[in-house]
Structures are given as structure tokens and as C-alpha cells.
Structure 1
Amino acid sequence: MSWIDNVWSLMDLGRVGLVVGLVATVVTYLMARRRTTRVGYVHQGEHLLGSASDALPSGIVVQYDGLSIPRLTKSVLIIWNSGESTVLGSDIVDKDPLRFCVGADGQILSISVLKVGRQVNDFAFTSPRKEMSEAEFTFNFLDADDGVVVEILHTSTDRQPRIKGTLRGLPQGFRNFGQFTRPKPQKKKRSRPLSAFTAVVFSPLVFFCASLVYAFYGPRPEVISADAFNGLMGGLGGVSGMLLVNAWATRRKYPKSLHLESLE
């Protein structure tokens, strides 16, 4: 058999699909680990009083610190260094400081820090002024995965505050990863070593690699034709790839150090 025939024999549907999936997984991992400068945030909001379309009825008067408000909105932002490079607070541009911004139809009532990754990051914010929809904030530095959880009470119909401002070395600004989903509470497991072993053995990555090794070196059952076997291996590779993609897409984007049980 010539070398061309040998190469052609390897280029069946099942093996090609598994190899392509493996290469894509490795490339995705390497790209995710490359050194980048990026700060991101996710948000979650709800109307505590009133709604996005209507203010409180005229017969109902609600005051916050002596100020009558048409509605009360709570927004939570989780901000963290989602890159690899350290971000310095000294790089904040004075003429365009970093600031939280709510909708122009509302004003910020209060800001509170629910959790910080490390106290040494020295995250601070200015007290919101009356009838202002923006409030400035600063920090000392943010290493990879350093961050803060902030709660903002405001009167805007928009439940999704934005972060504006200019930081040297970060021309794209803070990256908005969108609304975060509340993670499901995890049940406590009695046997941690056994649970960890089970999670590794039955992980999509291990399943994918096992399918790849079997496709190349495993025996082919005589009762199954070569085409059917190749199709089966390709199907297993496709399912494993879908599981990997789903695990990546549904992962908790912000660091575990910033997780709060109250967010569940």
C-alpha cells in the first residue's frame, strides 16, 4: 500500500472530526491564556419600586433621604480584571475619569461595595451628588482576577448601568459581558475526593480524548461496518465538542472570589 493510501485511510469522517475538534480545543485554550489587558463587568438589575414604563402612582409618595423619588432601582455590577496584565489606577485620565452612569432619566441615590477581591486594590468612589446620573470611582491597581462587587441604588428606568471613562492602555474601555445569570445553589457533597474524581473522569474533555484514542487505536467490532464505525466516532466527537462548548458558554465569567451567596 502506498503512502497516499495510508494517508487516505486515516482521512475518514470520524477521525477527521475528532482531530479537528481536538485542535480547536487546544487553540481556544491557548488563545484564552494569551497575555491581554482587559477589564470587564457583568450586571444585574431590578425595580424595587415602580417599573420601567410607569412611575409610582401620584397618590403614593416615596422618599429617599428626604428626596421624593418616582421609582427605586437596584443594580449590581461585578467588575474585575479579565485579562492577564496588571491595570494601574494611575492610568485613569483626569479629563475623562472612570464613572458609573445610569440612564439620563434618573439619578444615583447611593453606592455601596458588597465585596472586594483584595483590600489592597483600594477601590473607592465619590459620593453621588444630587440630581446626578454619574458617580466617579478609582482604584490603586488590579491584578488578574482582582475586582469588586458594587450595588447602586438609583431612579432610572434602565436597570443596566454603564461604565464610562478612559484608562491608558485600554482604548476599548471596560468590556460589558452582559447580564449575569444567578448560579444555582450547589448542594454540599459528602465525599469531596470521590466527587472530584467523578467530575474528572466523566468530564467532556476526558470523554473527547478517550474517543480520539479509541478511534485511532481501538479495535473495530466485526459486526459494525467501517462506515458505521466512522460515523459513530464522528458522532461521539461531535457530542463531546457540544458538551465542551456548553461548559465554556455556561461557565461563571467572573472570579469565584467575587461570588456572593446573595447573588444566587
Structure 2
Amino acid sequence: MDWQTITSTWGFNLAFLVGTLLAVYALYLTFKSRPVSRLAYDTTASTIVGEQQEPFRRSLKITFEGVDVPRATFANIFIWNDGNQTIRRSDITPKKPLRLTLPEGEKFLQYNLASMADEAMDASMSLSEDGSLTVSFEYIEPGQGFVCEILHTGESSSLNLIGVLISAKSPVKKSRVPVYTLNYWAWMLTLVGVAAGWSSADIFTAGYFEGMTSPTAWFAYGSIALLAVIIIGSVRAYLTLRKPHKMDFGKKAEASPLRTFTDWTVVSDTTPSPPEHR
């Protein structure tokens, strides 16, 4: 059974495919436009100096403000509104506020608010009694956020943001640069695009080739289908990869751990637990 027979028997023609594509796209827009309240964060960290440097463990001594510490890790924390609804200070639950935490035994050494998308956001950090850093702000618009710089004694992957927001629940850790993956919607668009390409090729080449059995016809159909996949895949990748460029964290003066810490807040009680030697 060739493609012409299928389209004539089942009514599965180009108009049907276009209508299906538009319906799927309308459902996608409806799904994307639903109210979503979500706070996201991402971290980039590196251990400036630490005991894990095995060759120097016995001869290396690290101190901060005169207190011995196991390591010094510099971290950037990016916090932003990943939804489409404004997040306000009143959305932060009093009993479970937003806090930056480290594993037990690790301590914060210094912290600083590096930048924010808008000064009216009024983002701030303060040291809590339990040793965590409480994070607060007046509001965060969708696509906006702020950046915190922190020096601590934990490992590079040990910093987390916890707490509960009304409607948004707990903060979500995710990459600021999402990786393009061929998810459900990409598969749907690709399959419909291939079918539409083949249908168009069958219509446009009718009378020129000897139906589906001709090698030339197969080449023409395959070329158009491949072109459809490339176009749809490119559009999908563009729409996905352009998202990070819409995020606004403000402008940082410098993003280097080697700069002077004149504007940083020093944690006075720097008494981390002795490191475990394994």
C-alpha cells in the first residue's frame, strides 16, 4: 500500500497533518501559559585550597582569621525566578525560611551579595543561629534573580538552598544553561514534520517519478523529510538554548575569588569541626 492509497483511503493528507500540528502546538502553548511559581538555584564552586590535596596534606596548614580550617571553597550561588509568577517576600514561610546550608561540621567564612537584577529586589543574606545563611528578598520577577558569593569550609558540591515558598514549594536546583534533549514535544514535532514532509513530497512529485518504488522518488522523499527534521530540530534547539540569555542577575563588578574581600561579611565564629582523615 503506497502513500497515495493511505491518504485517499484514510483521509490522512497534508491538511490533516497541518491541523494536527496546530492542535498540538495549541496544547503546548496552553501548557506553557499555565501559572507556575518556581524558585531555582545553581552553584559554581571551586576549592581554593584544601586538605584533599594529598601531596601537601602533612605540610599544609590552612587558617582563616587565625582559626584552623580544613579547606577554603569559593562558591557563586545563582538564585532566580524560574516560573511565570512574581515571588514575593510574603511567599516565604516563616517556619521554613530560605536558607543556604552546609553539611554538619562545615562553616561559612565570608559571604557577599554580588549582584541583583534590580535594587528594588532588596535581596539580602544574614547568619542564622544554627550557622546557616538566611536568604530574603522583597520580590523576584520571572526571569530575574541575584548572585551570592560565599567562602566556606565545605566541599565544592556541599552547598544547598532549602526552605518552603507558598505555591512554589521548595527551591529547585537546576542548570542555568539547560541542555537540549529530544523530549516528548521534540519527538512529536519531529514525527509530524517528517510525515508532513513525506506527504508534501508525494504530492509535489506525483507524475514525475514511478511512485514509491523509484529510487529517485525515495531520494526526494528522504531529502524533504531530512530537511523537515533539521528545520524543526534547529527551531527547537534555538527556543531551548536562548532561555538562559533572558535571565537577569544584574552586573557583577568582578567574579574572581582572588579579588579583595573588602565588601564581604566575615563570620566571626569560625570553628569548624576537626576534619576526618580517612
Fold match, TM over 0.5?
Answer: yes
- Equivalence for 1:176: 173
Match of 2:229 in 1: 238
Aligned counterparts of 2:21 and 2:45: Cα–Cα separation in 1: 38
Paired letter, 2:79: I
Provide structure 1 residue ranges, at least 5 long, that are not aligned to the other structure: 182-207
Give the 3 Å change call, closer, same or farther, for CA 242–220 of structure 1 in structure 2: same
TM-score norm. by structure 1 comes to: 0.69
Residue 122 of structure 1 and its aligned partner are, at CA, apart by 0.9
Alpha-carbon deviation of 1:86?
Answer: 1.4
Q: What are the residue-to-residue correspondences of 1:8-23 with 2, within 5 Å?
A: 8=11, 10=13
Identity of aligned residues (%): 16
Higher alpha-carbon deviation: 144-153 or 20-29: 20-29
Superposed displacement of residue 170, structure 1: 2.0
Aligned to 1:75, the other structure's residue is in SS state strand
Output one character per residue of 1:104-131: Cα deviation in whole Å (capped at 9) or x when no partner. Answer: 34211122111101111111110367x9
Match of 1:85 in 2: 85
The 10-residue stretch of structure 1 (33-42 or 109-118) with the greater mean CA deviation from structure 2: 33-42
- Structure label with greater radius of gyration: 2
Instruction: Provide the residue aligned with 1:47 in structure 2.
Output: 47
Residue matched to 2:106: 106
Map of 2:8 onto structure 1: 5
- Supply the distance in 2 between the matched residues of 1:113 and 1:28 (Cα, whole angstroms): 37
Amino acid of the structure 1 residue aligned with 2:113: V
Distance 2:87 2:55 in 1: 40
Cα RMSD (Å): 4.1
Q: Give the aligned partner of residue 136 of structure 1.
A: 134
Q: Deviations over 1:236-260 (max 9, x none)?
A: 1222233234334544537442266
Shift of 1:144: 1.5
Q: Which residue number corresponds to residue 257 of structure 1?
A: 248
Partner in structure 1 of residue 34 of structure 2: 34
Q: Is the 8 A contact 2:145 2:247 kept in 1?
A: no
Whole-Å separation in 1 of the counterparts to 2:245 and 2:53 = 31
- Pick which of 108-117 and 159-168 moved more: 159-168
Give runs of aligned pairs for residues 144-159 of structure 1, distance below 5 A: 144-159=142-157
* 8 Å CA contact retained: 2:7, 2:13: no
User: What does residue range 110-125 of structure 1 map to in structure 2 within 5 Å?
Assistant: 110-125=110-125
| C-alpha contact 1:123 1:137 (8 A) present in aligned 2 | yes
